[in-house]
Amino acid sequence: MKQLIVFTLLFIFSQQLAYCQMITGAIHTENSEPIQDVVVTLSTPTDTFTYLTGIEGVYQFMVAPGTTGTISLHRPTTGQEIFNGLSPYDYVLIQYLIVGNYTGLNFSVYQILAGDTNNDGYWSTYDVTQIKALLLQTESSYVNSPHWKFIQDAYEFDDPEHPILTEEASSVQLTDIINGTKSGNFIGIRTGDVNGSVIPHD
């Protein structure tokens, strides 16, 4: 009798899995390097699920038909990780951004986002000050900006010269992925790392 119950439960479970859909995505830097240790959160009206990316920078969730929710990302940054990708050269590059002297440097929208450490869409001496504060260990976080910013890989900013991290840019609706209107892939930006020297995985 017990064997019959177990078999029945396994059959029901397998049938449920057959109707479920695998949601996957890749998280990488602008230079296509996978990002490890990203906490990917799927928030639905009733539950919250998390997935920690490995060295390949990939996440996945199994969802039932009709599931709605939001996928968002963050990467915990403590200890020596705070200095990962940051150097005096970064705030020199930001100073070029401030004075508008970046002809020939061809900064991408992701580099511009990296240099905007307070996420106001502009570059100022305050951005430079925040990077210096982290390097000098007088501060351990930025004002109004996480250590890592994550952007949908196909997201287009209204003003690429003054991009701002928004919820719309940094998260994706599950239904959009299921319906194929958006991908579940993200580009990770180390805030303050304008020259792209961060090591995103072990």
Evaluate whether residue 182 is within a structural domain. Answer: yes
Percent of the chain with pLDDT over 90: 58
Identify the three-state secondary structure at position 144.
Answer: coil
Evaluate whether residue 153 is within a structural domain. Answer: yes
Evaluate whether residue 200 is within a structural domain. Answer: no
Evaluate whether residue 51 is within a structural domain. Answer: yes
Domain span including residue 176 = 18-190
Measure the CA–CA gap between 104 and 84, rounded to whole angstroms. 27
Sequence-distant (6+) residues with CB within 8 A of 172 are 70, 71, 152, 182, 184
Evaluate whether residue 196 is within a structural domain. Answer: no
Structural domain count, the chain: 1
Indicate whether 114 pLDDT > 80.
yes
pLDDT digit string, tens, across residues 154-193: 899 999 888 999 999 999 999 898 888 889 999 999 999 9
Sequence-distant (6+) residues with CB within 8 A of 84 are 77, 190, 198, 199
**pLDDT of 104:** 60
Using a cut of 0.95, tell me whether the model's pTM lies above it: no
Evaluate whether residue 7 is within a structural domain. Answer: no
| Among 53, 48, 61, 62, CA closest to 27 | 53
Evaluate whether residue 10 is within a structural domain. Answer: no
Q: Specify the CATH number for the domain of residue 87.
A: 2.60.40.10
Q: Residue 153: which pLDDT band, with cuts at 50, 70 and 90?
A: very high
pLDDT digit string, tens, across residues 41-57: 999 999 999 999 999 99
161, 112 in Cβ contact below 8 A? yes
Evaluate whether residue 103 is within a structural domain. Answer: yes
